[in-house]
Chain A
């Protein structure tokens, strides 16, 4: 059905595809990298959007999952390069799809551990506890010297995908773009499913959900873990894009940025994270070119959006969201 929102979504998706294709034709690889960044950040925020937008779980610690995904890519690639065994005789790989599976699994496991404790709380407690757990992972990465500590870890050669030259910027963009579309599709399927309905209901009225015989805790935990897995996958892609991973991927600024992407785009909206990521990277690039104080103006814009434009970009372009 071609509603106004679907039209805007279609334009966003095609627009993200058109920019790198045009940049490739014009010989401007920098813009391809920029578009890849948008796709990966949008995927990370789509993961968070499942917890935050659908489930109402304001996680201020999703950088932990983003960074864990990144470190999986970095560490597995480093072991593959050096030949040192990692665990159980496995000495790393440079195959992206194996890295993705490991990143998703590890992010899910850590998400489960964090979720089991954090979801016992709610409201401000939940915000601060997720923040504190992410800081715990951050300080662990900083103080563990084996994988670069504070300096981070370089990935010397971008990991491989069967039949694709991943070092060609456009190819890598297309990999990330397809994964983003799959991630958004998964988000849509989950949101429309019985599980998604229960997760939204748990946000709107916990008591009623419990009354009809569904345990809100389990539904939320499932949502939180799935959310962590998607964000972890985005982290692995991000590390391969930059061929570098450092504790800054785990920092609380990263967690804040992911929330900002969602709000800029429109909370709980299917394409909100993509709209937000595109807007954010465009701000960063445009303001960064004009003034080195761009963060000040980013803060100002964000403040104005929160105070006066509550629906985000999609709220402006596509009207109010159908669900409250």
Chain B
């Protein structure tokens, strides 16, 4: 029984990790290319989830909703970049934090304005409903497996995009020397908008996928955003590889910690307190892991070579 349960938790951890990667990849890409810290990334996640839920309710199709989430989040990202973010590239990080904090307030309150305070619900598409058996006799929802697969696919696609295409070449060039590729005639302003919209689309995609297993509500992006920050700090800010490994580490550590620590505590303290102490430590576990990693490697596991 315990093995099957542990396997189930491990898969849950992978699923969380994959979703965190989608968020963290956008954040780290935007930081790597433009040097911008974007707190409003969680709002783009929320935009994706709301777009998917709304369009899925209109059309009755989750898949059209999923496309809508990509389009809406990318469009919101592009507009925000053109109107606000563009003015922040030359500013210090403090100004960037504040301006994007202001954007969060506007996005959250604006969404509440449009959709009201009640959460929306998004159904899992019929194709992915149901469960599959796991070794050990428990069942695991197909949809969560599909999330893991989709995340892995996106990670591979992102790798191919960055390492094999012309756009990817420009992104890598932008990471190593912004002025130089501008001087070589690449339209750097358009490149920035494209990168920002790409990051936004990844966040929106994650929001839509998670929206079907949680409720779609204002503020849903904030816990994920902070976890994604932990991920990119652990992985090394600007590194996609670091984001992937960091996301899996955080996802699995968080989920398994919540599962195992209360049981582990039973060995040391009476059962009445074991759950409480174990739960409290589990909720802080990823931050403890982060502190330990940074105490050893202050620039994360895979610090980018430059800067």
Interface residues of A (CB under 8 A from B): 52, 58, 60, 117, 120-121, 123-125, 127-129, 131-133, 135-136, 139-140, 142-146, 252, 256, 259-260, 263, 267, 293, 295-296, 298-300, 302-303, 306-307, 310
Contact = CB atoms under 8 A, between A and B. Distances in A.
Interface string B269-307: 000000010011011100110110011001110000000
Given A120-B295, A136-B288, A306-B99, 10 more contacts: A117-B291, A127-B37, A128-B233, A131-B226, A133-B291, A143-B280, A263-B98, A298-B105, A299-B105, A300-B102
Interchain residue pairs A-B with the least CB separation, the first 10: A299-B105, A136-B287, A296-B109, A299-B106, A302-B102, A303-B102, A139-B283, A299-B102, A295-B109, A143-B283
Interface string B79-121: 0000010010000011101110111111011101100000000
Contact of A144 (B102, B276, B287, B290): B276
B97 A259 contact: yes
A295 B108 contact: yes
Given A133-B287, A145-B276, A307-B87, A302 B98 contact: yes
Nearest to A126: B93
A300 B99 CA distance: 9
A58 B93 contact: yes
Nearest to B238: A124
B229 interface: yes
For the side of the interface on B, what is the size category? 35 or more
Given A125-B298, A128-B229, A296-B109, A144 B280 contact: yes
B269 to A, nearest CB: 14
Contacts of A302: 98-99, 101-102, 105
Contacts of A252: 222, 226
A41 to B, nearest CB: 16
A129 B290 contact: yes
Contacts of B200: none
Given A295-B109, A299-B104, A140 B283 contact: yes
B106 A296 contact: yes
A299 B98 contact: no
Contacts of A144: 276, 280
Contacts of A135: 226, 287
Given A259-B94, A263-B98, A300 B106 contact: yes
27 contacts: A52-B94, A117-B291, A120-B295, A121-B299, A125-B237, A125-B298, A128-B229, A128-B232, A129-B291, A131-B229, A132-B229, A132-B233, A133-B291, A136-B287, A136-B288, A139-B284, A144-B280, A252-B222, A259-B101, A263-B98, A267-B94, A293-B109, A295-B108, A296-B105, A296-B113, A298-B102, A302-B101
